[in-house]
């Protein structure tokens, strides 16, 4: 059982999944969420639409949770500071802090999403609040979602210490989260089996997947592709990963099942081919994609079964 918060501070980025899991994990009936989203500027798009999907998805699971949308600058320190202080004042008024008596107020500060500037400032601001005696009735903890591990970490501010670790799988079980729920969280839906379509514009994706399931709280998309060369597979990856990221976020998994691959060099094996594929992508991505993108070959499976 996780800490149940009276108030949740959460920062909205491009991927709605961490916010969704955080809100459901820490909420009780009547929890109030302050969701800070970024505004449009010349360099980036507002995360307001991401937040709209979160609000719709959360309310489908628990309509007693109140989510307040708060626009906030993504990088200018003075603007962020004004935004944070204003909403903190609202929390103090809303909880009637001066008349709490012996009661305490539980606050979770989730800094997983949004920009580094916003995350750093929010963390620093609430860290200072924790140190002030005048706010001793506020029980404030930070929270961070590790998508790779499928875990949510609840931490003390000072001294920094992990107090609890929650499995995202438990959030799934508690709220009955399905893959359809996760796809809808990103603003899409399933049509005609395993094809993805935009919820708002009914625009279908180009690819139909063999299978879609959930791994560590993230969607996994399995698809069969026909490729004779490494460059064909790399090309397919860029096409398909674009659609996968839209429907499942940047942490989604892709499993490729490759048909028709032809070896030019008889000395090569399937392991060498996979390595060449990952090496081709390493020139574009700074992170290791081996955990997120798997490749199996039809002929490889045949050899193993012989």
pLDDT band at 178 (very low <50, low <70, confident <90, very high): very high
Domain, as residue range, for 97: 7-175
Is residue 230 located within the same domain as residue 142?
no
Q: Which residue has the tokens 């009276």?
A: 6
Which range in 7-11, 229-233, 264-268 is most confidently predicted, on average pLDDT? 7-11
Residue 121, domain CATH: 3.40.50.10770
Dist. CA 15–CA 291, nearest whole Å: 18
Q: Which of 287, 288, 211 is nearest to 255 (CA)?
A: 211
As given in the structure block, the two tokens for residue 299 are 């002929």
Which of 125, 147, 175 is where one domain is finished? 175
Q: Is residue 180 part of a domain?
A: no
Reply yes or no on whether the pLDDT at 113 is more than 80: yes
Dist. CA 5–CA 270, nearest whole Å: 50
Dist. CA 179–CA 195, nearest whole Å: 13
Is residue 229 located within the same domain as residue 145?
no
Which of 117, 144, 175 is where one domain is finished? 175
Q: Is residue 69 part of a domain?
A: yes
Which of 175, 205, 221 is where one domain is finished? 175
Question: What is the mean pLDDT of the segment spanning 47-73?
Answer: 94
The 10 Å Cβ neighbour count of residue 273 is 19
Q: Is residue 58 part of a domain?
A: yes
Question: What is the mean pLDDT of the segment spanning 43-64?
Answer: 88
pLDDT of residue 24: 97
pLDDT of residue 264: 64
pLDDT of residue 285: 67
Is residue 66 located within the same domain as residue 160?
yes
Is residue 262 located within the same domain as residue 137?
no
pLDDT of residue 280: 85
Is residue 218 located within the same domain as residue 169?
no
Q: Is residue 199 part of a domain?
A: yes
Reply yes or no on whether the pLDDT at 301 is more than 70: no
Is residue 261 located within the same domain as residue 170?
no
Share the mean pLDDT of the chain.
88
Q: Is residue 1 part of a domain?
A: no
Q: Give, to the nearest 10 degrees, the angle between helix 230-248 and helix 270-282.
A: 60
Question: What is the mean pLDDT of the segment spanning 242-255?
Answer: 89
pLDDT band at 303 (very low <50, low <70, confident <90, very high): low
Predicted model pTM: 0.88
Is residue 68 located within the same domain as residue 157?
yes
Is residue 47 located within the same domain as residue 130?
yes
Reply yes or no on whether the pLDDT at 38 is more than 60: yes
**DSSP assignment string, 8-50:** EEEE--S--HHHHHHHHHH--TT-EEEEEEEPP-SS---SHHH
pLDDT of residue 42: 46
Is residue 161 located within the same domain as residue 200?
no
Reply yes or no on whether the pLDDT at 45 is more than 70: no
Question: What is the mean pLDDT of the segment spanning 268-290?
Answer: 77
Reply yes or no on whether the pLDDT at 261 is more than 90: no
**DSSP assignment string, the chain:** -PPPPSEEEEE--S--HHHHHHHHHH--TT-EEEEEEEPP-SS---SHHHHHHHHHHHHHH-TT-EEEEEEE-SS-HHHHHHHHHHHHHHHHHHTTGGG-TT--EEEEEE-SSS-HHHHHHHHHHHHHHHH-GGGTTEEEEEEEEETTTTEEEEEETTTTEEEEEEEHHHHHHHHT--HHHHHHHTTEEEETTTEEEETTT-PEEEEE-SEEEEETTEEEEEEEEE-SSHHHHHHHHHHHHHHHHHHH-TT-EEEEEEES---SSTT--HHHHHHHHHHHHHTT-SS--TTTEEEEEHHHHHHHH-
pLDDT tens, position by position, 71-82:
988 878 888 889
Q: Is residue 15 part of a domain?
A: yes
Q: Is residue 185 part of a domain?
A: no
Is residue 145 located within the same domain as residue 214?
no
Is residue 201 located within the same domain as residue 257?
yes
Q: Is residue 2 part of a domain?
A: no
Range name among 57-66, 102-111, 179-188, 198-207 with the lowest pLDDT average: 198-207
Question: What is the mean pLDDT of the segment spanning 159-182?
Answer: 93
Total structural domains within the chain:
2
Is residue 164 located within the same domain as residue 262?
no
In which order are the strands placed within the sheet that holds 32-38?
66-72, 32-38, 7-11, 105-110, 138-146, 151-156, 161-167
Reply yes or no on whether the pLDDT at 99 is more than 90: yes
Dist. CA 204–CA 192, nearest whole Å: 10
As given in the structure block, the two tokens for residue 110 are 């989730």
Higher pLDDT, residue 26 or 160: 26
Question: What is the mean pLDDT of the segment spanning 252-279?
Answer: 81
% the chain with pLDDT above 70: 91
């Amino acid at each position: 059982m996780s800490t149940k918060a009276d108030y949740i501070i959460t920062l909205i980025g491009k991927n709605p999944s961490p916010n969704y899991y955080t809100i459901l994990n820490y909420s009780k009936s009547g929890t109030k969420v302050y969701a800070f989203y970024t505004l449009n500027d010349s360099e980036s798009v507002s995360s307001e639409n991401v937040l709209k999907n979160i609000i719709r998805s959360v309310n489908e699971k628990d309509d007693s949770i109140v989510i307040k949308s708060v626009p906030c600058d993504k990088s200018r320190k003075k603007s962020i500071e004004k935004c944070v202080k204003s909403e903190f004042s609202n929390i103090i008024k809303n909880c009637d802090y001066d008349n709490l008596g012996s009661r305490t107020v539980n606050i979770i500060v989730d800094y997983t999403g949004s920009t580094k500037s916003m995350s750093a400032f929010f963390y620093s601001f609430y860290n200072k609040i924790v140190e002030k005696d005048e706010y001793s009735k506020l029980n404030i903890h930070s929270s961070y979602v590790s998508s790779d591990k499928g875990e949510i970490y609840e931490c003390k501010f000072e001294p920094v210490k992990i107090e609890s670790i929650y499995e995202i799988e438990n959030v799934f079980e508690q709220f009955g989260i399905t893959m359809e729920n996760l796809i809808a969280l990103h603003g899409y839906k399933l049509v005609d089996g395993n094809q993805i379509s935009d919820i708002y514009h009914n625009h279908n994706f180009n690819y139909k997947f063999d299978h879609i399931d959930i791994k560590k709280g993230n969607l996994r998309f399995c698809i069969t592709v026909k490729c004779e060369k490494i460059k064909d597979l790399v090309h397919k990856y860029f096409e398909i990963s674009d659609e996968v990221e839209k429907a499942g976020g940047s942490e989604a998994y892709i499993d490729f099942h490759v048909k028709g691959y032809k070896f030019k060099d008889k000395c090569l094996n399937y392991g060498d081919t996979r390595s060449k594929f990952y090496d081709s992508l390493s020139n574009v991505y700074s992170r290791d994609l081996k955990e997120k993108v798997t490749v199996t070959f039809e002929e490889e499976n045949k050899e193993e079964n012989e």
